[in-house]
Amino acid sequence: MNVGIVGVTGYSGMVLYSFLINHSEVDEIYLYGNQTNAEPRQLSKILPAFGENHLVIYPFDSEKVKEQVDCLFFATPSGTASQFAASLIESAFPVIDLSGDYRLHSAAEYDKWYGQPNRMLPDQAKVTYGLSEFTQDYANYVANPGCYATAVLLALAPLAMEGLLETDSIIVDAKSGVSGAGKKLASSSHFPFINENAWVYKLNHHQHIPEMIQQLQKWDGEIQSIQFSTTLLPITRGIIANHYVKLKKKMTQETLEKVYRNYYDECLFVRFRGQELPMIKDVTGSNFCDIGLVMNETTQVLTIVSVLDNLVKGAAGQAVQNFNKLFGFEESAGLPLLPQCP
């Protein structure tokens, strides 16, 4: 089949392209820019690391997209896909959207968290929030979850779905590499700023918070909020999220591990590791999310640690995973099954 990418020059778009070009079910890749009137550009001139090839980035035209490809990926900043996607959603054309433009169900939430007033949102039935491990029935428009949201939701899902969380005591301290901010220049991503540094940013205001709450409430309607902090680390890629929660009933380490294994033992890309707490290097370059947990018997505080590569499981990798599930391909098709070593 043929696929298209809007936004191949961004970090997530580049990783997405590298997966799709090696995908056994993909015949041709078409590239589109995020403007309708731009001049065509040769990919090899913009990204020489991809080598000489015939690919050209064409201006976006929804009718040509529908003629040329069988599925379109948006790997664009928030606010872009919503400018182009209306006709695609209306015609039920298959789309995997890596941006945040259709993750939320409320226009008021887009105004509050993304600064996008007066959003026109489609019927919820036309868009699937594609947290891969917990999605079986797909609409043709798939809203790929955010990187932080993926790490947090996978860590909390078993407890939320079992109704075990004390809902007024969910604290998440998450840390990410600089690539999570994308390629757009900012003072906080300059080498002299972040090198040998760590910076807490968007405290209580990160745009992934509402999608976490939205999904957690589907699993447990008593959950109204979480305390969520984000820290920028002087590394290129990777997320580590530490979750501190209290439970509604006293549980042993052994019992908690059984709960998690019941959910994740059959999942290809979630590796539950019991008391062995994972680190970022365990998953760099892979589509895995690794999870470990330890119960403090004295304080009755459960610590859950999840790690993932923000550009892979947190973006392009999960997008391909959703693509595979949407079209009935092998779930691992096109995806790396080993992390980068060393």
Tell me the H-state helices in the chain: 11-20, 43-46, 62-68, 81-84, 86-90, 107-114, 147-161, 191-194, 209-219, 253-264, 317-327
Residue 336 falls within a domain, yes or no? no
* Range ranked top by mean pLDDT from 84-88, 180-184, 331-335: 331-335
Asked if residue 196 and residue 87 are part of one domain, the reply reads no
Asked if residue 188 and residue 258 are part of one domain, the reply reads yes
Asked if residue 249 and residue 136 are part of one domain, the reply reads no
Average pLDDT rounded to a whole number, residues 27-37: 88
- pLDDT-based confidence at 46, cuts 50/70/90? confident
Give the model's pLDDT for residue 181: 85
Contact 146, 214 (CB under 8 A): no
- pLDDT-based confidence at 114, cuts 50/70/90? very high
Average pLDDT rounded to a whole number, residues 28-44: 87
Asked if residue 109 and residue 56 are part of one domain, the reply reads yes
How far is residue 150's CA from residue 338's CA, in Å, rounded to a whole number?
19
Asked if residue 137 and residue 171 are part of one domain, the reply reads no
Give the model's pLDDT for residue 185: 78
Asked if residue 159 and residue 140 are part of one domain, the reply reads no
Give the model's pLDDT for residue 265: 97
Say whether 254 sits in a helix, a strand or coil: helix
Structural domains of the chain, count: 2
Q: Cα torsion at 285, 16, 146, 311 (round to 10°)?
A: 30
Sign of CA dihedral 171, 177, 183, 188: positive
Q: Which helix (H) or strand (E) holds 199?
A: strand 199-201
Residue 232 falls within a domain, yes or no? yes
Residues constituting the chain: 342
Q: Does the pLDDT at position 38 exceed 80?
A: no
Give the model's pLDDT for residue 182: 84
Asked if residue 301 and residue 170 are part of one domain, the reply reads yes
Contact 305, 3 (CB under 8 A): no
How far is residue 129's CA from residue 213's CA, in Å, rounded to a whole number?
13
Amino acid letter for position 93: F
Asked if residue 299 and residue 157 are part of one domain, the reply reads yes
Residue 342 falls within a domain, yes or no? no
Query: For the domain that residue 180 is a member of, what is the CATH number?
Result: 3.30.360.10
Q: Give the phi and the psi of residue 27 in degrees, each rounded to 5.
A: -95, -50
Average pLDDT rounded to a whole number, residues 41-50: 87
Q: Does the pLDDT at position 203 exceed 80?
A: yes
Asked if residue 183 and residue 138 are part of one domain, the reply reads no
Average pLDDT rounded to a whole number, residues 110-137: 95
Residue 337 falls within a domain, yes or no? no
For residue 83, the enclosing domain spans: 2-144+314-327
Contact 155, 307 (CB under 8 A): no
Residue 78 falls within a domain, yes or no? yes
How far is residue 139's CA from residue 161's CA, in Å, rounded to a whole number?
23
Query: For the domain that residue 124 is a member of, what is the CATH number?
Result: 3.40.50.720
Residue 338 falls within a domain, yes or no? no
What is the set of active-site residues? Answer: 147
How far is residue 124's CA from residue 259's CA, in Å, rounded to a whole number?
31
pTM reported for the whole predicted model? 0.96
Asked if residue 164 and residue 132 are part of one domain, the reply reads no
**DSSP-assigned beta bridge partners for residue 301:** 246, 296
How far is residue 255's CA from residue 219's CA, in Å, rounded to a whole number?
20
Give the model's pLDDT for residue 48: 87
Residue 334 falls within a domain, yes or no? no
pLDDT one-digit tens code per residue, 147-186: 999 999 999 999 999 999 999 999 999 999 999 988 877 8
Residue 339 falls within a domain, yes or no? no
- pLDDT-based confidence at 49, cuts 50/70/90? confident
Average pLDDT rounded to a whole number, residues 123-139: 97
Asked if residue 184 and residue 61 are part of one domain, the reply reads no
Give the model's pLDDT for residue 201: 95
Asked if residue 304 and residue 158 are part of one domain, the reply reads yes
**Side-chain half-sphere of 278: how many Cα atoms within 13 Å?**
29
pLDDT one-digit tens code per residue, 252-306: 999 999 999 999 999 999 999 999 999 999 999 999 999 999 999 899 999 999 9
How far is residue 21's CA from residue 27's CA, in Å, rounded to a whole number?
8
How far is residue 217's CA from residue 225's CA, in Å, rounded to a whole number?
9
Q: Does the pLDDT at position 35 exceed 80?
A: no
**DSSP-assigned beta bridge partners for residue 41:** 57
